[in-house]
Amino acid sequence: MTHVDATTAQRKRSFAPVVNEQVRTLILGSLPGERSLAQSEYYAHPQNKFWKLLSVIIDTDLTALAYADKLQTLLAHGIGLWDVVAEAQRQGSLDSHIRHHVGNELTGLIRTLPRLKTIAFNGGTAEKLGIKALQEDALHYRIVRLPSSSPAHTLAYALKLEQWQRLLNEKRKETENEQEK
């Protein structure tokens, strides 16, 4: 295990949430990696499978779209994005190197999303920190833990996709429930 010196680790900040009042599913990551921070885009690393996985879920090739169009397409499908960490010291991109973090105001955000039904965590760190931040508020939503889309999480793509397809099942449930109303 590599020792991370907190005195030399840079302070990193997350992006603004990508949401609107139509969001039914909120996907929460931990904190953007180096490539994402450099490009000011969620999941910008070319080996991160986030956009490829979500392309299957919403049946639209997000990987072919410009970044702004990716975000608009997600919102059109009722999917929002944010991170559980607002800022932290971290050397490199690994979640295991996150130190002295300050969380994003998750409870404040979810209260502004009247249609929110599902909160999905992209990876174990996001889930651990997110559930702790949400506390009892988590009980009011479907919680889905997803394997990290990061290339650092070496689970084979096919196995990641199998688990990410639970979002598709949740999306179908939400659609069915809305049609019944």
Q: How far apart are CA 127 and CA 143, in angstroms?
A: 9
Q: Is residue 150 a contact partner of residue 48, using CB atoms and an 8 Å limit?
A: yes
Active site residue 122: no
Using N-to-C axis directions, what is the helix angle for 67-76 and 50-58, rounded to 10°? Answer: 40
β-pairing, 85-90 with 79-83?
unpaired
**Cα-to-chain-centroid distance, residue 52:** 14
* Pairing label, strands 25-29, 118-122: parallel
Annotated catalytic residue, options 20, 48, 104, 177: 48
For residue 60, how many other CB atoms are within 10 A of its CB? 16
Query: Which residues form the catalytic set?
Result: 48
